[in-house]
Amino acid sequence: MIDGLPDLDDGVYPGGFYSLVDRFERKQVILTGAADILPPADTDLAALWTRTVPDLTVEEDAAPRFSAQRKSLQLQKLFVGAPEIHLLHALLIAILRRRDPPPAAPALFFRLWREEGEKLAATLPVRWLISAATTFADIGQTGGQRACGMGLSVLYDMIKLHESERRYSGQPADTPFPRRRGQRIRTIAFDLDPYSLEKGDLDRNLLSRLWKLCEDDATIRPLGIRMLRLVTQDRRTVFARMQELKRRDAARRRAEGQPEAPEDSDE
C-alpha cells in the first residue's frame, strides 16, 4: 500500500513498483576498486583530448566481475580510437550510477563538464549525452542541475520508447501517418484531450521550459543546449512530425477559407 492505494499486480508491470524499484536497485552493484583506477583530481584534461584510446591488450574477463577494472576494459572496447577524455567520462558515469562511488568520481565528473563541457557536448555520441544528463539528474550539485538533467533524460528516453514502438508500423520516421477522415480514435491514455494541431503548444512549452533550465546553469548548459538543438533539428521524431502535421493542417484550413486559430492553448 502506497499513499493509501494498493500497488496491484494486474497493471502493466507485474509486481508493480516494488518489482521495478527492486530490479533498479539490484543493478546498482558497487564497482570494486573504483578509486584505484581514477586519475588524480587535478589531472590535465586538455592532454586527454590529444591521446586516443588504444586497443585492448588483455581480455575483459581477466578482471574480477563487478570490478571497476572490468568495466573500464568493457568501455575501452567501445572507445578505441576516440579521445581518452571520452573514455574517462564514460567510466565516471558507470561508477556514479552505482552505489557508494568514491568522492573523486563526482568531483571529476563536474570538473569535466565545467572545463570541457563545450567540446564534450559537441563530440560525444548521443547515447553518452543521455547518460550524462541522467547522471546530472542523479547527483547534480544544484536543484537546477538535477531538474535539467532529469528533464533531458526523460525527454530522450520517451522519444526512444515512442520511436521504437512506431518502427513496427513500417512508416518512415520522418513521415507522419496519413490522415484518415472519419477513422481517428477520439480518446488517448488517461482520457486526456488529444494534442490540438490547430492551436496546441504542448511541445513548445516543454522545450522552452527545458531550455530555460539549461540556460540558468553554466555547468550543464553545453549539454542541455546540444541535446535540445538535436531535438529541433532531427526530422525523425514526434516533435518534427507534429510540426509537419500542423503545417499541413494550417494549409488545409487556408485552402478551405477557414480563419487561423489563435495560439492561446495552455497545454
**Residue boundaries of the structural domains of the chain:** 31-117, 125-258
The answer to whether the pTM exceeds 0.85 is yes
Name 32's bridge partners: 67
Q: Is the dihedral of CA 63, 65, 67, 70 positive or negative?
A: positive
pLDDT score recorded for residue 8: 55
Parts of the chain with a pLDDT under 50: 1
Angle value at C-alpha 202, between 198 and 208, nearest 5 degrees: 125
Q: What pLDDT sits at residue 183? A: 64
Report pLDDT for 136. 98
